[in-house]
């Protein structure tokens, strides 16, 4: 739409808003200000009327919702209202409302919210409807809905004005119903397994538990800089130290990083920790969560995402990171044992090595990112990661250069991250020191020293399995949403002004 069309559209909207304001003024003059109404007793939703038609036929019901369409036909008319569960038609006539009330109804606009009392019937076209006996204007819409002006198609505008998006694009509402169902199902699974749901602080004096750049804020009373959490991990493991065997938290995480179709500065994760288990147990529970959530909202475990057929119901593939690289590009890091050899093969394969990451472990991770990740379409657990990229995971006995860690991949995207948790305070302290060194060398995503967490480990953390899942990405997968913004009611947007 060009600038002239935009200007004309804005002028049309302004004219209609003026007309609607005048209608409200007239209502107020006649002591019928709809904004003075504080309560309306409805008896049924649109869905309840339609689902129970046989029992309700000929009986009075009271429904309420937003007018989405009107057809004025002399002394009788039809209007369609929309509530949280769908739409229902109403037949409105002079004979039932009386001339004055019918005249007033004809002034109502699309977007107005009304309450209707009348009996249930079917029209000649077999549409279940409410034959109105009374109609009450409950709220006056002073701004026309965008469908009057070519619909709400602009995605940026839809994200900014989600309230309008939900009204004029009903399928969007279904996505967020499914979001709620998925989160409830996850809770149900974990509650069945004896996990305790807990809440941990969003504001912390130390940024830890993940490799990410934090948001920084300031506490005025304490005169102290604080960080919005980038993970819930360290506090949840403190609770395992404190004697809880199984805990989890579903909550918002904040990372001061880039924005794209998979990343939003604030997003939702679940982290769970179970004493006396390891990363193999976390693989099992990850599979169960994905399968049961798919069954809940997709009616099965075979789904389509971005035109790819994905089967969540089969046993997920499990492969080490080093073996996955060998499969993808023929490089076997089991035969590459020094940093120098790794740097050499990276140059041969034209893999760029960022400053500060010229180690065998970092290069293994870079090879995985370059050659493997995008090829993992069907559900796959990639496990046994280099220690350099996993500061909170337990070393493998067989090869201390690796740790017991996995990530879950589907359609080239990472959905979950899990460890056999590092519970050796001496080892953890040394790894924190390495993180500090990386931070001093310019890596603003590196972690900080958490002396209190070291103290907790010194008290004693039992062998523990831990898992973090990206809730938003899971919802994207199960609702076939292309962007994370499609599954966040209010995604972060750059201000227009």
Q: What is the pTM of this model?
A: 0.91
pLDDT > 70? residue 8: no
pLDDT of residue 147: 61
For 388-404, the pLDDT digits (tens) are 999 889 999 999 999 99
Is residue 472 within 8 A of residue 488, CB to CB? The reply is yes
Grade residue 2 by pLDDT with cuts at 50, 70 and 90.
Answer: low
Is residue 423 within 8 A of residue 462, CB to CB? The reply is yes
Of 396, 378, 385, 377, which Cα lies nearest the Cα of 360? 385
pLDDT > 90? residue 264: yes
pLDDT > 90? residue 484: yes
pLDDT of residue 149: 41
Which tokens sit at 256? 């001061």
pLDDT of residue 307: 93
pLDDT > 60? residue 241: yes
Work out the average pLDDT over 187-199. 98
CA of residue 397 relative to chain centroid, distance: 38
For 415-474, the pLDDT digits (tens) are 999 999 999 999 999 988 988 888 787 777 777 889 999 999 999 999 999 999 999 999
pLDDT of residue 3: 59
Whole-number CA gyration radius for the chain: 29
pLDDT of residue 5: 57
pLDDT of residue 383: 98
Work out the average pLDDT over 210-215. 89
Work out the average pLDDT over 49-64. 98
Is residue 252 within 8 A of residue 200, CB to CB? The reply is no
pLDDT of residue 434: 85
pLDDT > 70? residue 382: yes
All domains of the chain in start order, with CATH: 3-151 (2.40.50.140), 168-316+378-487 (3.30.930.10)
pLDDT of residue 363: 98
For 81-120, the pLDDT digits (tens) are 999 999 999 999 999 999 999 999 999 999 999 999 999 9
Q: Could you please report the per-residue DSSP string of 332-399?
A: -GGG--SHHHHHHHHHHTT----TT--SHHHHHHHHIIIIIGGG--S-EEEEEEEGGG-TTBPBPSS-
For 284-342, the pLDDT digits (tens) are 999 999 999 999 999 999 999 999 999 999 999 999 999 999 999 999 999 999 999 99
Average per-residue pLDDT in the chain?
A: 94
pLDDT of residue 4: 62
For 37-53, the pLDDT digits (tens) are 999 999 999 999 999 99
203: exposed, middle or buried (C-beta count within 10 Å: 0-12, 13-18, 19+)? exposed
CA distances, 266 to each of 229, 409, 456, 464, 490 (Å): 10, 21, 28, 27, 10
pLDDT of residue 148: 46
């Amino acid at each position: 739409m060009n600038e002239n069309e935009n200007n004309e559209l804005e002028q049309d909207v302004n004219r209609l808003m003026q007309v609607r304001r005048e209608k409200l003024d007239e209502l107020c003059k006649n002591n019928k200000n709809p904004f003075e109404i504080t309560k309306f007793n409805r008896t049924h939703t649109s869905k309840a009327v339609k689902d129970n038609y046989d029992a309700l036929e000929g009986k009075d019901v009271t429904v309420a919702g937003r007018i989405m369409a009107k057809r004025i036909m002399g002394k009788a008319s039809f209007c369609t209202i929309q509530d949280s569960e769908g739409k229902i038609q109403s037949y409105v006539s002079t004979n039932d409302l009386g001339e004055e009330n019918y005249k007033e109804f004809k002034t109502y606009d699309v977007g107005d919210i009304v309450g209707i009392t009348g009996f249930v019937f079917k029209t000649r076209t077999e549409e279940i409807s409410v034959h109105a006996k009374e109609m009450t204007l409950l709220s006056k819409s002073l701004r026309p809905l965008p469908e009057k002006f070519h619909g709400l198609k602009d995605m940026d505008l839809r994200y900014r004005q989600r309230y309008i998006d939900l009204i004029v694009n009903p399928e969007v509402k279904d996505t967020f119903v499914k979001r709620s169902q998925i989160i409830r199902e996850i809770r149900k699974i974990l509650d069945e397994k004896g996990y305790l749901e807990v809440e941990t602080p969003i504001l912390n004096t130390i940024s830890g538990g993940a490799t990410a750049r934090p948001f920084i804020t300031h506490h005025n009373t304490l005169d102290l800089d604080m960080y919005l959490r980038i993970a819930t991990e360290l506090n949840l493991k403190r609770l395992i130290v404190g004697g809880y065997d199984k805990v989890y938290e579903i909550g918002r995480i904040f990372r001061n990083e880039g924005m794209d179709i998979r990343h939003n500065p604030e997003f939702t994760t679940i982290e769970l920790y179970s004493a006396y288990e390891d990363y193999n147990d976390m693989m099992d529970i990850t599979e169960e969560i994905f399968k049961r959530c798919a069954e809940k909202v997709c009616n099965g475990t075979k789904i389509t995402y971005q035109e790819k057929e994905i089967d969540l119901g089969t046993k997920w593939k499990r492969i080490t990171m080093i073996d996955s690289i060998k499969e993808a590009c023929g490089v076997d890091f089991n035969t590459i044992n020094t940093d120098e050899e790794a740097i050499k093969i990276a140059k041969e394969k034209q893999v760029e090595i960022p400053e500060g990451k010229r180690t065998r472990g970092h290069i293994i991770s870079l090879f995985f990112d370059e050659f493997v990740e995008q090829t993992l379409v069907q559900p796959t657990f990639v496990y046994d990661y280099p220690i350099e990229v996993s500061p909170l995971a337990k070393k493998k006995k067989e090869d201390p250069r690796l740790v017991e860690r996995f990530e879950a991949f589907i359609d080239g995207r990472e959905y979950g991250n899990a460890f056999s948790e590092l519970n050796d305070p001496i080892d953890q302290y040394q790894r924190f020191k390495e993180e500090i060194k990386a931070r001093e060398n310019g890596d603003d995503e590196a972690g900080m020293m958490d002396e209190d967490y070291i103290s907790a480990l010194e008290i004693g953390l039992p062998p523990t399995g831990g898992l973090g899942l990206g809730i938003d990405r899971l919802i994207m997968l199960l609702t076939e949403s292309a962007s994370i913004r499609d599954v966040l009611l209010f995604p972060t947007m750059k201000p227009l002004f």
